[in-house]
A and B are shown apart, each in its own frame.
Chain A
Amino acid sequence: MAEPIIEAENLGISFAVNRRRKRSLREMFIHGKKRDPNAAGADFWPMRGVSFQVAEGECVGIVGKNGTGKSTLLKMIAGVLIPDEGSVRVRGKVAPLLELRAGFNDQLTGRENVYLVGSLHGMDTETIDARFDEIVEFANIREGYIDMPVRHYSSGMKVRLGFALISQLEHPVMLVDEVLAVGDKAFKKKCYEAIERMLAKNRTMVLVSHNETDLKRFCDRGLYIKDGELALDADIETALAAYNADTKAETEARKKAAEEKKLRRQEKGGGEAA
Chain B
Amino acid sequence: MASRALAVWQNRQVVGLLVRRDLKVKYQKSILGYAWSMLEPLAMAGVYFFVFGLIFNTNRGVPGGDDAPGGYLLFLISGLLPWLWFSTALNEAPKALISQSKLITTMKVPREIFPIAVVTRGFVDYLFTWPVLLLFVFFLGGRTTLMGVLVWLPAALVVQYAFTLGVTFLLASVNVLVRDVERIVRILNRILFYASAIIIPSGMVLDGTSSFPGWFKSLFQLNPLLGIFKMHHAVWYPADAPGFARAAAEGGFALTTALVGALVFLTVGYWVFRRLETAVLKEL
Chain A residues with CB under 8 Å of chain B are: 13, 15, 21-22, 24-25, 28-29, 32-33, 75, 78-82, 84, 94, 96, 98-99, 102-103, 105, 107-108, 112, 115-116, 119-121, 124
Q: Which partner residue on chain A sits nearest B104 by CB separation?
A: A80
Q: Which residues of B contact A75 (CB under 8 A)?
A: 105
Given contacts A116-B18, A120-B14, A120-B17, 20 further A-B contacts (CB under 8 A): A13-B282, A25-B177, A25-B178, A29-B275, A75-B105, A78-B108, A79-B108, A80-B105, A80-B106, A81-B282, A82-B278, A96-B106, A96-B107, A99-B106, A102-B102, A102-B106, A103-B107, A105-B21, A107-B28, A120-B107
Interface contact B102-A99, CB-CB below 8 Å = yes
CB pair A119–B17 under 8 Å, yes or no, is yes
Interface centre among A33, A105, A124 (most CB of B within 10 A): A105
**B-side interface mostly:** helix
B interface, size bucket: 20 to 34
- B5 at the A interface (CB under 8 A): no
Instruction: Decide if B103 is an interface residue (CB 8 Å cutoff).
Output: yes
Closest to B280 in A: A82
Q: Chain B: which residue is nearest A100 at the CB level? A: B106
B107 touches A108 (CB 8 A): no
A102 to B279, CA, bound (A): 21
B276 in the interface (beta carbon within 8 A):
yes
Q: Is B281 an interface residue (CB 8 A)?
A: yes
Given the interface contacts A84-B278, A116-B17, does A99 sit within 8 Å of B105 by beta carbon? yes
Nearest CB of A to B158, in Å: 27
Chain A residues closer than 8 Å to B178, beta-carbon distance = 21-22, 25
Report whether A107 and B25 are in contact in the complex, using a CB–CB cutoff of 8 Å: yes
Query: Are B102 and A103 touching (Cβ within 8 A)?
Result: yes
B17 to chain A, nearest CB (A): 5
B143 within 8 A of A: no
A269 to B104, CA, bound (A): 57
Tell me if B24 counts as interface (CB < 8 A to partner A): yes
Q: Which residue of A lies closest to B102 (CB)?
A: A102
- Bound complex: CA A264 to CA B103 (Å): 53
B207 close to A (CB within 8 Å): no
Chain B residue with Cβ nearest A14: B282
Sample 18 A-B pairs with CB under 8 A, ordered by A number: A21-B177, A21-B178, A24-B279, A29-B275, A80-B105, A80-B106, A82-B277, A82-B278, A82-B281, A96-B108, A103-B107, A105-B25, A108-B25, A115-B17, A116-B17, A119-B14, A119-B17, A124-B13
